Amino acid sequence: MRYLMTTKPSDAVADENLYIEMGKFVEELTAAGVLLATGGLEPGGVRITSAGAEITVTDGPFAEAKEAVAGFALIEVRSKEEAIELARRFRKIVGDGESVVQQVFGP
Amino acid sequence: MPVTDAHRTIDAVWKLESAKIIAGLTRLVHDVGLAEELAQDALVAALEQWPESGVPDNPGAWLMAIAKRRAIDHIRRSQRLERKHEELAHELEHPPDSAQGSAQDSAQDDVLRLMFISCHPVLPTEERVALTLRLLGGLTAKEIARAFLVSEQRIAQRIAGAKRTLAEEQVPFELPAASELAERLSSVLEVVYLIFNEGYSATSGDDLMRPRLCHEALRLGRLLAELARQEAEVHGLVALMEIQVSRSPARTGPSGEPVQLHEQNRGRWDQLLIRRGFTAMLRARELGGGPGPYVLQAAIAVCHAQARTAEDTDWAQIAALYEALARLLPTSIVQLNRAVAVGMAHGPQAGLTLADSLTTEPALQSYHLLPSVRGDLLARLGRHEEARLEFQRAASLTGNIAERAFLNGRADELAVTGAPGITLAKAAQDFLRRDDLDAETIRSYGQTLRRLCLSLGDQLPLTSLTADQVARVFATSWGTAAAKTWNRHRSAVRSFGAWASVDDLAAGLDRRAETRPRTEPIGPAHLAVLWNRPDLPLRERTLWRLLHESAAGVTAVLSLNVEHLDLDDRRARAGGGTWVNWRAETARLLPRLVAGRTRGPLFLADRRPGPGRTPAPADLCPETGRRRLSYERAEYLFKQATKSLDPAGNGYTLRRLKPAPRMADQV
């Protein structure tokens, strides 16, 4: 089963050590065949809303930036517990902040 | 943390970490079975402690530390590997810095070694599969059993059997030498692909554990691709699996019916997996070398994945790839797929010619896809009546309900015109319902007629049944069977033909002479070579001499006990009361073989039986604890020893030690 882990932006400043640790983590998960895709997201982005027949396109940044998503990882695991365990390891590396893990259905 | 949550977390950690832990321990204790026990001990400790203390920061390292401590305890207890123990203690006190690349590499190499050992060719395939899922997938025997639809006990036996064999054969924990790498690697790939196919063949009604096997195999494949990056075939297998699994969402319709590749909604194919497949394929190509079977199969899958619609498929390319594959892997399934591709690339007649050449293939006799493919090709040629019969036959051969409905549907589309006559199946049914046949005859005739129905189709009109068709079924089904079997089926057909007033159905079937072929004795020249070998073990030399001199049966000779021997009179009473007599050579050898023993089996196995195998007391030597030499083992040793003598290259069987009967005996 697939899970999407999304991470919210944090104020912590990334040091070189964090990059090394993250690199190792990503490599290990790729080797284990767990990590399918991962990436960081630009802050803000473009918002598209529809109401009735009207489509509105708004450029960011937006006021509620704290609720936005800064990065994601799509993983393939055998249980929710495995997904949580991997998210736990990820949080230990990146420090304070918040991630959300959700099962992906489909395609 | 609630206990059940903790247990599920532990299970998750275990599945993620167990391969690395078991691999690391195997390097220390040189025994996979023991390593797994020690790892299990650590798991038990986690189950006891984590619900109280919470999951430790680095659960994998925690489990490894506990397991290593158990390993040291074990080694201390056995007090044999004093030096090893010091090394271990040193390593525990000064753990290698985990940030170092070399430590990580060696941990990965250990996992690769573990994979090679659990897929070792010394193990039967099904044991390799069970052990690999257990050690590298972290699956329990129960989970494996559910996935393979067999009992948990049987899986446990397979795993135990595999560990025992690895220990007995002293299979080393190391990467294969370059000279045997190709063979060992193909054994690993075979296991991974077998696991994959078991999951891929699961249908919607099945336990979810079965489709999970696909992902288990993909995980193993992706892992292997990182560990053995230089092997093109590994990347080929990964590409093949990624692309095959990308079609999963489109393979079945809303009610679970199979959807064939050319009718699948390509919009439902998982593009993420397809791209992973392409990437793996590129890695395989970059490594170069002649394409192996997995790279070729992956190339075929790539062709399909690249076609935006079924019509865009490059069938000429696929047919060419199948032709190359058939050269490397000339199985009937590959040939059948090739017939499909040729039918698409070069027209239905070309495909049908190829498919027709497979109808006498014994391996395909009960395989529903052969008539299904032929039906499709016949329908495209406008030969609707033949096509309909083939689809009906295919439907009767498949065990999958959804597939059967689909095939019957295709048969119904090719509706017949005109009144149907009596069918083969109906005639067979009526024939077997006669009340003048006894139960045994009905059972025997039933076997024959069922095979005819399966091979020719239930719906074949009785009037169109010919002796030629019957002869063809006989040749493929029973061509190599014993004469007695052949004749039994032949008389069933004769009786059926007479009853149904069909012209002599058995016309193409000759009655076969039922003489048992005489076992050709080994010639005197070869015997002389054998006896003069200087390096023969005493047991083998004695056994073979005794068989030759006594002309007694192999089973009788192996059943001899020391207490039955009458060394002075040169004879012994075997089980069943027959006397075994011998002459001077055996008499010279026997006392040395007995070597002071007073009772128990005369011929003993080399080793004591493993703990899981308890032979009958009569087959156990009370003095040495070893079991009686088995027929299989004795036969194997003899074949090995005589391989170079046998012109056929197979080695002789023990029965052929029996000398030719003298003329006087034959009168």
| Chain B positions in Cβ-Cβ contact with residue A85 (cut-off 8 Å) | 9, 12-13, 16, 59
Report whether pLDDT(B666) > 90. no
Res. B647 pLDDT band, cuts 50 70 90? confident
Identify the pLDDT of residue B97. 47
Nearest CA in chain A to B16: A82
Please indicate whether, in this complex, the C-beta atoms of B16 and A79 are within 8 angstroms of each other: no
Clarify whether residues B181 and B126 are in a common domain. Answer: yes
Q: Which of B16, B223, B272 sits opposite A31 (nearest CB)?
A: B223
Identify the pLDDT of residue B665. 41
Nearest CA in chain B to A29: B223
Residue B217 falls within a domain, yes or no? no
User: Measured between CB atoms, does A23 come within 8 Å of chain B?
Assistant: no
Q: Structurally, how many domains does chain A consist of? A: 1
The count of C-alpha atoms lying within 13 angstroms of the C-alpha of B391, restricted to the half-sphere facing its C-beta, is 23
Q: Which of A32, A37, A92 sits opposite B272 (nearest CB)?
A: A37
Clarify whether residues B547 and B487 are in a common domain. Answer: no
- Tokens encoding B72: 């040291």
Res. B100 pLDDT band, cuts 50 70 90? very low
Identify from A81, A88, A89, A93 which residue to disrupt to test chain B contact, counting B C-beta atoms within 10 A and taking the largest count.
Answer: A81
Integer Cα distance of B436 and B425 in angstroms:
20
Report whether pLDDT(B204) > 60. no
Give Cβ neighbours of residue B453 (< 8 Å, ≥ 6 apart): B396, B424, B425, B428
Give Cβ neighbours of residue A30 (< 8 Å, ≥ 6 apart): B226
Give Cβ neighbours of residue B664 (< 8 Å, ≥ 6 apart): none
Residue B310 falls within a domain, yes or no? no
Residue B361 falls within a domain, yes or no? no
Instruction: Please check whether residue B12 is in contact with residue B21, taking contact to mean a CB–CB distance below 8 angstroms.
Output: no
Q: Structurally, how many domains does chain B consist of? A: 3
Res. B104 pLDDT band, cuts 50 70 90? low
Instruction: Please check whether residue B551 is in contact with residue B662, taking contact to mean a CB–CB distance below 8 angstroms.
Output: no
Instruction: Please check whether residue B63 is in contact with residue B39, taking contact to mean a CB–CB distance below 8 angstroms.
Output: yes
Classify residue B455 as left (phi > 0), alpha (psi -120 to 50) or beta: alpha
Identify the pLDDT of residue A15. 80
Clarify whether residues B174 and B106 are in a common domain. Answer: yes
Clarify whether residues B494 and B636 are in a common domain. Answer: no
- Tokens encoding B396: 């009767």
DSSP string over B382-403: T-HHHHHHHHHHHHHH---HHH
Clarify whether residues B157 and B114 are in a common domain. Answer: yes
In this prediction, residues B213-241 reach a mean pLDDT of 92
Please indicate whether, in this complex, the C-beta atoms of B8 and A36 are within 8 angstroms of each other: no
Res. B93 pLDDT band, cuts 50 70 90? low
Determine the residue type at B551: A
Integer Cα distance of B260 and B278 in angstroms:
22
Nearest CA in chain A to B229: A31
Q: How far is A99 from chain B (nearest CA, A)?
A: 18
Clarify whether residues B464 and B579 are in a common domain. Answer: no
Residue B203 falls within a domain, yes or no? no
Identify from B16, B115, B192, B223 which residue to disrupt to test chain A contact, counting A C-beta atoms within 10 A and taking the largest count.
Answer: B16
Q: How far is A66 from chain B (nearest CA, A)?
A: 28
| Chain B positions in Cβ-Cβ contact with residue A78 (cut-off 8 Å) | 12, 15, 212, 215
- Tokens encoding B600: 């128990």
Identify the pLDDT of residue B424. 86
Nearest CA in chain A to B100: A24
Please indicate whether, in this complex, the C-beta atoms of A81 and B9 are within 8 angstroms of each other: yes
Which of A86, A89, A95 lies closest to A9 in space, CA to CA? Answer: A95
Clarify whether residues B11 and B158 are in a common domain. Answer: yes
Instruction: List the domain range (segments joined by +) for residue A31.
Output: 2-104
| Chain A positions in Cβ-Cβ contact with residue B222 (cut-off 8 Å) | 31-33
Identify the pLDDT of residue B248. 87
Among A16-20, B204-208, B614-618, name the one with the lowest average pLDDT: B204-208
User: Measured between CB atoms, does A13 come within 8 Å of chain B?
Assistant: no
Residue B478 falls within a domain, yes or no? yes
- Tokens encoding B394: 């295919």
Identify the pLDDT of residue B117. 94
Report whether pLDDT(B114) > 90. yes
Identify the pLDDT of residue B95. 52
Which of B605, B613, B666, B664 lies closest to B631 in space, CA to CA? Answer: B605
Residue B439 falls within a domain, yes or no? yes
Q: How far is B127 from chain A (nearest CA, A)?
A: 23
Integer Cα distance of B561 and B492 in angstroms:
47
- Tokens encoding B187: 């054994």
User: Measured between CB atoms, does A93 come within 8 Å of chain B?
Assistant: no
| Chain B positions in Cβ-Cβ contact with residue A88 (cut-off 8 Å) | 55
In this prediction, residues B177-199 reach a mean pLDDT of 90
Query: How far from B71 is each of B33, B85, B531, CA to CA, in Å?
Result: 12, 9, 49
- Tokens encoding B616: 């009958």
Residue B528 falls within a domain, yes or no? yes
What DSSP element (H or E) covers A54?
strand A54-59
User: Measured between CB atoms, does A104 come within 8 Å of chain B?
Assistant: no
Identify the pLDDT of residue B663. 44
Report whether pLDDT(B82) > 60. no
| Chain A positions in Cβ-Cβ contact with residue B220 (cut-off 8 Å) | 33
Determine the residue type at A39: G
| Chain A positions in Cβ-Cβ contact with residue B212 (cut-off 8 Å) | 78
Query: How far from B281 is each of B62, B231, B232, B303, B609, CA to CA, in Å?
Result: 38, 12, 9, 12, 47
Per residue in B355-412, pLDDT tens? 999 988 888 888 889 999 999 999 988 888 899 999 999 998 887 777 888 899 889 8
User: Measured between CB atoms, does A95 come within 8 Å of chain B?
Assistant: no
- Percentages helix, strand, coil for chain A, rounded to the nearest 5? 30, 35, 35
What DSSP element (H or E) covers A102?
strand A99-104
Clarify whether residues B603 and B484 are in a common domain. Answer: no
Per residue in B292-347, pLDDT tens? 999 999 999 999 999 988 888 999 999 999 999 999 988 888 999 999 999 999 98
Maximum Cα interatomic distance, chain A, rounded to a whole number of Å: 50
Please indicate whether, in this complex, the C-beta atoms of A36 and B276 are within 8 angstroms of each other: yes
Give the number of beta-carbon pairs within 8 Å between A and B. Answer: 53
Q: How far is A107 from chain B (nearest CA, A)?
A: 7
List, as own/partner pairs, every contact residues A39-48 make where C-beta atoms lie below 8 angstroms and the sequence separation is at least 24, other chains included: A39/A71, A39/A72, A40/A70, A40/A71, A41/A68, A41/A69, A41/A70, A41/A71, A41/A72, A43/A9, A43/A68, A43/A70, A44/A68
Nearest CA in chain B to A92: B57
Please indicate whether, in this complex, the C-beta atoms of B12 and A81 are within 8 angstroms of each other: yes
User: Measured between CB atoms, does A12 come within 8 Å of chain B?
Assistant: no
Please indicate whether, in this complex, the C-beta atoms of A30 and B226 are within 8 angstroms of each other: yes
The count of C-alpha atoms lying within 13 angstroms of the C-alpha of B150, restricted to the half-sphere facing its C-beta, is 12
Per residue in B243-259, pLDDT tens? 999 998 888 887 777 78
Identify the pLDDT of residue B300. 96
User: If DSSP states are collapsed to H, E and C, what string results for B434-488?
Assistant: CCCCCHHHHHHHHHHHHHHHHHHCCCCEHHHCCHHHHHHHHHHHHCCCCHHHHHH
Given CA atoms B47, B48, B51, B54 in this order, what sign does their dihedral have? negative
- Beta-bridge mates of residue A76: A2
Q: Phi and psi for B125 in degrees, rounded to 5?
A: -55, -45
Res. B81 pLDDT band, cuts 50 70 90? low
Res. B664 pLDDT band, cuts 50 70 90? very low
Per residue in B536-572, pLDDT tens? 889 999 999 999 998 888 888 998 999 888 888 899 9
Clarify whether residues B61 and B138 are in a common domain. Answer: yes
Give the CATH number, domain containing residue A58. Answer: 3.30.70.1060
Per residue in B122-147, pLDDT tens? 999 999 999 999 999 889 999 898 88
Clarify whether residues B108 and B154 are in a common domain. Answer: yes
User: Measured between CB atoms, does A39 come within 8 Å of chain B?
Assistant: no
Clarify whether residues B537 and B450 are in a common domain. Answer: no
Q: Which value does ipTM take for this structure?
A: 0.76
Give Cβ neighbours of residue B485 (< 8 Å, ≥ 6 apart): B478
Q: Which of A34, A81, A106 sits opposite B11 (nearest CB)?
A: A81
Identify the pLDDT of residue B288. 85
Report which DSSP code applies to B620: B
Instruction: Please check whether residue B620 is in contact with residue B561, taking contact to mean a CB–CB distance below 8 angstroms.
Output: no
- Tokens 């061509």, residue located: B479
Percent of chain B with pLDDT over 90: 33
CA B235 to chain centroid, in Å, comes to: 23
Clarify whether residues B545 and B480 are in a common domain. Answer: no
Integer Cα distance of A8 and A69 in angstroms:
5
| Chain B positions in Cβ-Cβ contact with residue A32 (cut-off 8 Å) | 16, 219, 222-223
Integer Cα distance of A72 and A8 in angstroms:
9
Instruction: List the domain range (segments joined by +) for residue B439.
Output: 424-500
Angle, in degrees to the nearest 10, between helices B59-78 and B82-93? 150
Residue B476 falls within a domain, yes or no? yes
Q: What is the pLDDT along chain A (107 residues), one digit of tens a residue?
A: 899 999 988 777 778 888 888 888 988 888 777 888 888 888 888 889 999 889 999 887 777 766 788 899 999 998 999 999 999 999 988 888 899 999 998 75
